[in-house]
Amino acid sequence: MFLALKELKYAKFRYVMMTTIIILIAWLVFILSGLGNGLATLSAATLKNIDAEYVVYEETAGATFAKSILSENLQDDLEKQKNVDKVAAFGASTIAVGKTKSKDADSKEDVALLGVEPDAFFMPEVIEGEKLSYDNKKGVVINDTLKEAGYKIGDILLVANSDMKLEVVGYVKGETYNHLPAIFTVLENWRDYQYAAPGSDNDTDKAVQAFFLKAPNLEDPSTIDKAVKDVETVTKKTAINGMPGYKEENGTIMMMLAFCIVISAFIIAVFFYVITMQKTQQFGVMKAIGASNGFIGKAIVAQVAILSVLGIVIGIVFTYLTAKILPEGMPFDLEPTLIITYAIVLLIIALLSSIVSVRQIVKIDPLTALGRVE
C-alpha cells in the first residue's frame, strides 16, 4: 500500500491514463449490459411482471403460448390441486390497431392483445382510467407508451384485418410483450379475435392459451401434469425462454458482454504488464536490498485494486449520466444488483490480470541491480 500510493501520487499522468482506460471499459460494459437488459425486459416485461411461479400449457405445445390451446374450464381443476394458491387464464395475439380505417401502415400500431380475466391475480394496476370489466367487453387498458402515439382514453381502436373494435378505458405502465406495447382485454373479447375462424380453436370450449399458477409452495410441477389431463406445467423462467426469439436475443447480448469482458481483461493485463516491465530495474534493486516477491507483488495488486475501484466507480457514474441523456424510447434498464455484479466481475478480472504482472516480478533476478550503469 505504501509503495502503491506513493507511486500513484508521483506518476500521476501515467496512472490517470490507466484509470481512464478502466473507466472506458467499465462504461462500455455497463452501457452494454443496461441496453441488453432493457431489450430483454422489453421482450417479456409483462411475463416478468407477473407474480406467478408456473405456467400451464397444452401438453403438446412445447411450452409456447401460440401453439397451446386449453379450455378455461380447467381452471377449477387446477385450483383444486394441492399447493396451488391462485390460477388465472391467459391468451396473447399480435394485432395492429388504428383509429381510422386507413391502409396506411404509419397510422397503425403493432400491439400485443392480451386476454385475461378482469379479476386475474396478475392483472397489472391501472394507473389511469378504469379497470377491465365484463360490462364493457370491448374495453381495453393499454400500455402508457401508446399515449405518445396519440391514443387516449375513450378512443375507439379499429383492429386491422378484422371488423373488431376496441375502446380504450385505462392505462397500465411498463407492460410489453414480444417488444410490443401490451393492451389488455377480457378473455372473451380476445377469443373473438384469436379464434374468429370457425374451428381454429379445435372446438375447445372457452379456449385460452395457458394458465398462470401462483403456487410458491409447489415443489414439483409434474404433479399437476399427472393430476390434470393433457397439460404441461413449466416454471415461469422456462415460459419466458420459450417466447419467440427471447433465448436467441439474450444469447446474443450475453455473447457481446462476454467478449467485451474478456477483451477488457486482456487490455488491462497488457497495460499493467507493460508498466511493470518498465520497472524491472527498480524492482531488481528492491529485491537486492531484501524485498520479497510478496512485498512487491502486494504493491502491484494494491495499485491495480485502487485504480480499478476508482475506474469502475467513475464508470458507473458515467453510465447513469449517459442513461439520463439517452432518448426515451431507448430500452435502458440497469438495476443496482446488476451493476454491482458486473462491477465485481470487472474488479476480479482486473485483479486476475495483475497476476500476469506479479508472475513477472517473481522472475526478476535481483542480480540485475548489481554492476550496471544505466
Partner 1 sequence: MALLSLQNVSKSYKEGASTVQALKQATLEVEAGELVAIIGPSGSGKSTLLSIAGALLQMSEGTVEINGMNIVHLSAKQLASFRLKELGFILQTSNLVPYLNVLDQLLLVKKMGGKVTKDDKEFAKQLLTELGLSDKFKKMPNELSGGERQRVAIARAFMNNSKVILADEPTASLDSKRALEVVKLLAKEAKERNKAAIMVTHDERMLQFCDHVYRMEDGVLTQQS
Residue 141 parent element (H or E)? strand 139-143
Q: Rg of the chain over CA atoms, in angstroms?
A: 29
Closest approach, Cβ 294 to partner 1, in A, equals: 9
Closest approach, Cβ 266 to Mg ion, in A, equals: 40
Q: How far is CA 130 from CA 34, 89, 172, 180, 293, in A?
A: 33, 21, 10, 22, 71
Whether 166 and 97 have beta carbons less than 8 Å apart is answered as yes
Residue number with CB closer to partner 1 (149 or 302): 302
Give which of partner 1, Mg ion, none residue 202 binds (C-beta under 5 to 8 Å, depending on kind): none
How far is Cα 211 from Cα 71, in angstroms, rounded to an integer?
A: 10
Burial of 370 (0-12, 13-18, 19+ CB in 10 A): exposed
Residue number with CB closer to partner 1 (108 or 287): 287
Give which of partner 1, Mg ion, none residue 9 binds (C-beta under 5 to 8 Å, depending on kind): partner 1
How far is Cα 199 from Cα 119, in angstroms, rounded to an integer?
A: 28
Closest approach, Cβ 368 to Mg ion, in A, equals: 13
Instruction: Provide the 10 A C-beta neighbour count for residue 20.
Output: 13
Closest approach, Cβ 27 to partner 1, in A, equals: 29
The dihedral sign for the CA sequence 334, 339, 345, 346: positive
Instruction: Give the x-and-dash track for 267-286 against Mg ion (CB under 5 A).
Output: --------------------
Residue number with CB closer to Mg ion (1 or 370): 370
Give which of Mg ion, partner 1, none residue 295 binds (C-beta under 5 to 8 Å, depending on kind): partner 1
199 binds Mg ion (CB under 5 A): no
User: Residue numbers of the site for partner 1 (CB under 8 A)?
Assistant: 2-3, 6-7, 9-11, 281-282, 285-293, 295, 366-367, 369-374
Residue number with CB closer to partner 1 (197 or 373): 373
Instruction: Give the x-and-dash track for 334-373 against Mg ion (CB under 5 A).
Output: -------------------------------------x--
Residue number with CB closer to Mg ion (336 or 371): 371
Cell 386507413 belongs to residue: 102
Closest approach, Cβ 372 to Mg ion, in A, equals: 8
Q: Which residues of 197-220 are buried (b: 16+ CB within 10 A; e: fewer)?
A: eeeebeebeebbbbbbbbbeebee
Residue number with CB closer to partner 1 (3 or 28): 3
How far is Cα 55 from Cα 270, in angstroms, rounded to an integer?
A: 49
Closest approach, Cβ 370 to partner 1, in A, equals: 5
How far is Cα 56 from Cα 25, in angstroms, rounded to an integer?
A: 43
